[in-house]
Chain A
Amino acid sequence: MPTIRQFAFTIACCAALLGLSSGITRAGDGQTPKEKELIALLRSDAAPADKAVTCKHLAVYGSVDAVPDLAKLLPNEQLSSWARIALEAIPGPEAEEALRRGSETLEGRLLVGTLNSIGVRRDALAVDLLTGRLADKDAEVASAAAVALGRVGNDGASKALRAALATSEGKTRSAVAEGLVLVAERRQSEGKGAEAAEIYDEVRKADVPKQRKIEATRGAILSRNDEGIPLLLELLASEDKAMFQLALGTIREFPGNTVDKSLAAEIAKATPERGALLIGAMADRRATVDLTAIQAATGTGPKAVRLAALAALRRVGNDGSLASLLEIALDADAELAQTAKEALAELQGDKINSAIVTLLANAKGKTHPLLLDLVAQRRIAAIDEVLKAVDNSDKAVRTAALTALGAIVDLEKLPVLIGQVVKPKFEEDLAAAQLALKTACVRMPDREACATQLATALESVPAATKTMLLETLAAVGGTKALETVGTAARSKDATMQDVASRLLGKGMTDDAAPVLLDLTKTAPGEKYQLRALRGYIRIANQFVLPIDQRMEMCRTAYAASKQPAEKKLVLEIVKRYPTLDGMKLAISASESADVKEEAKGAALVIAQKIGGKVPEIRDLLAKIDIPKVNLEIVKATYGGGATQKDVTEIVQKAATDLPMVTLANSSFNTAFGGDPIPGTAKQLKIQYKINGKSGEASFAEDALIILPMPK
């Protein structure tokens, strides 16, 4: 069984493959020294673990020279699958011959695996061998042979499988059918549709499991092109649910446009449920769909069919669908009406928008809000018609008009919408106007101009509306908006202070940072100063910022923090983004009694993350008093690739009562008595216990050895 050393070799092999920087053989160069080493390992008494990974190496870098030694592993229960990884991958007839020969003496699962590999390689020379195995008394073996023949797919394989379809039984026959479907598929791709259809027919008419019949029937339809339509229609009428479902799937794949008319004729013959599903399948044939039939189905017939037809028009309808959809959108049946409205919102066609605007000019009754809804949903530039409707006596029309205004208004007409919020003509329209304004403002390309309009309006509205305008400004963002919200946060109005400081603290742009920083000093009251500080810290923590900027924000935030909670948040940031400046901040903070332990913890984490790369970290670390622990070094190895040196004793001697190890020399090579493997990246791996809890850590060459606290 594998030992620790052997396991280490395995891991080393994995690591060595990562960068491929150590002179790995390139495929096609023949037997290079690397391949020789790998083959030598296969021939040695190395542990199975080592041989296994060697097989994988040979899959990428092995040549025909490795084939004989790989073939010897085929009867090995543990390594057969590993050997086949290489034998399936190595090019050339030698690997195929090895698999064929291997199959002669194997049985059971190992034989099945080898036959599977022969199939993957589509080895034409294996047809006789595989044909012989079709009669194997082990059904698993016979089935593997059948599928492998299907993958080989030449005339010999086809002949053998067609013969076996009649003679084989049970599970094997199913596999033979599976193989034949693969053969037929290949014939079809080779342009031999007639031969493919013949094979498919043989399979679908044979006594094989239903799923095999489904596969063959699908193939029988598609391989015949238009001549397959009758069979497709037969399935559509089938009592068998599975066959009906197969028809629905096959409709979506069927080539050409002849079939669409045939399908249209089937709608009326089907049950409502099936008719609905058929329409869905027809609409998935967007390029050739018979739109007339679908449109006709929207107006009459069972509701399920009408709904399906309406939903189909949403995707495939055109200019000609508009009138009927508008009519149904006002139907008394809410479900039909809603489905029609959804279709109208997305209906494609060059003239639809202009037709809606034309209709809007003389719209009356329920049609009026419906058309305005469509203006909003389709974002039709019909500002004049919409503005007229804003003053309509019907509330439903006004509400729809305001919604439309929110969707289409531009900067020039924005004051109209602001006016509806500041001084609504009808008080009951206020909510709709506010929502429309927000919708409009967040999509304005010139946010500064938009914010200026809102800021002006802010001066003359009641308190409740002020809140809404501030929220809108925050959503708009930009210099003017930030400035306005910041001013509100400093105002004398408690509600404005609360709303504005909350909005600034939750913003999604880092340009709020200066405003927040200013508020940490100028906001009226400690509560809002603290909220501003937290918002500022949030930006330092969450946003993509240049390193210097983030650290400067951390220093500023730490200096502004009066309570330990905020100081701790800052220390979390310097831990998350470890830098020398962050280390300095943590060291400085370790002198503060209220965050002493958190600061030391942050310093240790920073040192562990970047200590090996930044020499000053080592000196800074010496300045803090690290908490003592009970440290036990269990095992330590140092090296690279397969070469690992046991350095347990050296590390044990260097261990103290701190969660770190300081070696006699900062150079690992010197401390451990020499470079164990020159020219290769090395790692120090330590298994240890801190206060009785086990941990394991790896360190790059010459890194600071700070041991994480085990969980």
Chain B
Amino acid sequence: MSIKGKPIHRRGFLKTALSAGAAAIAAPTIIPSSALGLDGNVAPSERVILGGIGIGNRGTYDLGCFLDQKDVQFAAVCDVKEARRIGVKKIADGRYGNDNCAMYRDFRELLDRSDIDAVLIATGPNWHATAAMAAAKAGKDMYCEKPCTKNIEQSLILKDTMKRTGRVFQAGTQRRNLPHFAFACELARTGKLGKLTKVYAHPAGMQAMTSGWLLPETEPNKEVVDWDMYLGPAAWRPFNAKLLDGFNFEKGGGLVGGGVLEWGSHCVDLCQWAVGDCLPPVEYNAPKDGQLVAKYENGTELIFRETGWIPLGSCPVRFEGENGWVEAGDSGKIVLSSPALLAGRKVAEIENYPATFHVRDFLDCVKTRSQPKGNAEAACNAHIACHAANVALYLNRQVKFDNVKNEFVGDAEANRLRSEALREPWRL
């Protein structure tokens, strides 16, 4: 038998044992752990008192990562769903062997507690930006799941608010704290691939749409599910149980992100890191042949594509320069155009994209007041790239974005999609 077609050269598949060491895995910290009070038992005064807002499936996973940190004390949970409140309290109390975890239906009551330093925000995407802004104004640092914003304007306000309030913000983009992704981005960012020409992101479902109402159903008792709080900043619609799944809940009557936002907030975020966290692309083209091509100011292309990936697991990214390329995915593996790029370095392979290191990065920054990897500015730029790509998808044509004025160039239609009113009484 003969095999037709040109073989694909994927050299230098790098397999390095986890034994490369935790030191290599952890993000570089500015302050040694002993200075952060992590080398022994943590005094109560040095613990970060944490509250949780909207702790469902993802939130419970994140919470587990926080509970594993010895300098964290989880004190309170807020959820509009009673069952979740009770479930999370059980987890926290079980861990501490007490009955201290307080439960709230309205997150504003949790934010009013002066003893809480930081919050984990893992609501549905509809709430992320609004809750994050409220937390910042209440003086809390926060780890906020992605996608963090619903539109371009929210992304900009998020960045400004975190700066203004002096809060530490970590987007739930945990791949920034995984060594193989970090290495791939470093190769691109530091010129090891030569002049960067293309960065690729996998949107996993490239479509934009608007959302509406589902058929009304009998609204449950507020204590069981607080529908009004669940809707929050989203335009009003009647209760329907299907909408209680955050991923079914299509974000407030406006433009819905689809895979470009849901996955882009991870893989576009990595592309942004690869290009040095510069301002987002300035040109976004209509999708063609399964690809949407955007261009940065310097000509580098950001390409959203559905297929053509080396099988390295979900959330693949690929960076191409004039002298080489690198591809990485959630399997923890990276593939290089040349082993010379490895330059003898060992890169730990960590699969299943754990958030542990990202959580640790956040907690360290809460103490040092430095900027974590998924800081608000980085998140803002990555989210704008996703939102602008979505606008191009929605309008099915090219749009151009001015990063100084933060508006689409001469494009009234696109500019009207930059933001969206929030339902009363919410504001950013």
Residues of B347-375 contacting chain A, CB below 8 A: 367-371
CB distance from B231 to the nearest CB of A (A): 9
- Provide the residues of chain A in CB contact with B367, threshold 8 Å: 277
Please tell me if B97 contacts chain A, counting CB pairs below 8 Å. no
Contact with B along A224-259 (1 / 0, CB 8 A): 000000000000000000100110111011000000
Residues of A8-24 contacting chain B, CB below 8 A: 10-11, 13-15, 17-21
Complex contact B31–A311 (CB within 8 A): yes
Q: How far is the CA of A211 from the CA of B163 in the complex (A)?
A: 13
Interface size on B, residues (CB 8 A): 81
Residues of B1-33 contacting chain A, CB below 8 A: 1-5, 7-15, 23, 28-32
Residues of A300-330 contacting chain B, CB below 8 A: 303-304, 307-308, 310-312, 314-315
Which listed residue (A27, A84, A87, A447) contacts B339, Cβ 8 A? Answer: A447
Please tell me if A638 contacts chain B, counting CB pairs below 8 Å. no
- Provide the residues of chain B in CB contact with A593, threshold 8 Å: none
Contact with B along A427-453 (1 / 0, CB 8 A): 000000000000110111101000000
Please tell me if B207 contacts chain A, counting CB pairs below 8 Å. yes
Q: How far is the CA of A171 from the CA of B359 in the complex (A)?
A: 33
Q: How far is the CA of A27 from the CA of B307 in the complex (A)?
A: 35
Which listed residue (A2, A49, A284, A308) contacts B35, Cβ 8 A? Answer: A308
Q: How far is the CA of A242 from the CA of B118 in the complex (A)?
A: 13
Complex contact A277–B424 (CB within 8 A): no
- Provide the residues of chain A in CB contact with B215, threshold 8 Å: 2, 4, 7
Residues of A150-183 contacting chain B, CB below 8 A: 178, 181
Q: Which of B163, B216, B425 has the most CB of A within 10 A?
A: B425
The residue in chain B whose Cβ has the minimal distance to the Cβ of A404 is B344
Q: How far is the CA of A537 from the CA of B215 in the complex (A)?
A: 47
Q: How far is the CA of A406 from the CA of B339 in the complex (A)?
A: 13
Q: How far is the CA of A91 from the CA of B412 in the complex (A)?
A: 9
Which of A75-83, A684-692, A697-705 is near enough to bind chain B? A75-83
Which listed residue (B5, B37, B138) contacts A548, Cβ 8 A? Answer: B5
Q: Which of B310, B416, B421 has the most CB of A within 10 A?
A: B421
Residues of B195-251 contacting chain A, CB below 8 A: 207-216, 235-238
Q: How far is the CA of A91 from the CA of B216 in the complex (A)?
A: 34
Interface size on A, residues (CB 8 A): 123
The residue in chain B whose Cβ has the minimal distance to the Cβ of A403 is B344
Which listed residue (A53, A303, A406, A445) contacts B212, Cβ 8 A? Answer: A53
Which of A112-120, A347-355, A597-605 is near enough to bind chain B? A112-120
Contact with B along A35-65 (1 / 0, CB 8 A): 0000000000000110011011001110000
The residue in chain B whose Cβ has the minimal distance to the Cβ of A548 is B4
Q: How far is the CA of A342 from the CA of B28 in the complex (A)?
A: 10
Known contacts A20-B395, A52-B237, A552 near B368 by CB under 8 Å: no
Which listed residue (A112, A276, A445) contacts B31, Cβ 8 A? Answer: A276
- Provide the residues of chain A in CB contact with B23, threshold 8 Å: 342
Majority secondary structure, A binding face: helix
Known contacts A61-B413, A120-B419, A147-B427, A56 near B253 by CB under 8 Å: yes
Q: How far is the CA of A229 from the CA of B164 in the complex (A)?
A: 18
The residue in chain B whose Cβ has the minimal distance to the Cβ of A219 is B164
Complex contact B164–A84 (CB within 8 A): no
Contact with B along A273-312 (1 / 0, CB 8 A): 1001101110110000000000000000001100110111
- Provide the residues of chain B in CB contact with A81, threshold 8 Å: 235-236, 253, 421-424
Known contacts A20-B396, A517-B1, A52 near B213 by CB under 8 Å: yes
- Provide the residues of chain B in CB contact with A77, threshold 8 Å: 236
Which of A383-391, A504-512, A645-653 is near enough to bind chain B? A504-512
Complex contact A60–B413 (CB within 8 A): yes
Residues of B326-349 contacting chain A, CB below 8 A: 333, 335, 338-340, 342-344, 346
Complex contact A1–B412 (CB within 8 A): no
Please tell me if A706 contacts chain B, counting CB pairs below 8 Å. no
Please tell me if A426 contacts chain B, counting CB pairs below 8 Å. no
Please tell me if B104 contacts chain A, counting CB pairs below 8 Å. no
Please tell me if B165 contacts chain A, counting CB pairs below 8 Å. yes
Please tell me if B311 contacts chain A, counting CB pairs below 8 Å. yes
15 further contact pairs, Cβ within 8 A, besides A28-B412, A81-B236, A442-B14: A7-B215, A18-B209, A20-B394, A20-B395, A49-B237, A88-B420, A88-B421, A113-B425, A211-B137, A276-B35, A283-B30, A304-B32, A304-B34, A342-B23, A440-B344
Residue ranges of A at the interface with B (Cβ–Cβ < 8 Å) = 1-2, 4, 7, 10-11, 13-15, 17-21, 26-28, 48-49, 52-53, 55-56, 59-61, 77-82, 84-85, 87-91, 109-110, 112-114, 116-117, 119-120, 140, 144, 147, 178, 181, 185, 209-211, 214-215, 218-219, 242, 245-246, 248-250, 252-253, 273, 276-277, 279-281, 283-284, 303-304, 307-308, 310-312, 314-315, 335, 339, 342, 376, 379, 406-408, 439-440, 442-445, 447, 475-478, 507-511, 513-514, 517, 542-546, 548-549, 552-553, 556
What are 9 sample pairs from A and B whose C-beta atoms fall under 8 A apart?
Answer: A18-B207, A78-B236, A110-B424, A120-B421, A276-B31, A379-B343, A477-B11, A508-B10, A510-B7
Closest 5 CB pairs of A and B: A113-B424, A10-B212, A211-B139, A248-B369, A407-B344
Residue ranges of B at the interface with A (Cβ–Cβ < 8 Å) = 1-5, 7-15, 23, 28-32, 34-35, 37, 137-139, 163-166, 207-216, 235-238, 253-254, 307-311, 333, 335, 338-340, 342-344, 346, 367-371, 394-396, 412-413, 416-417, 419-427
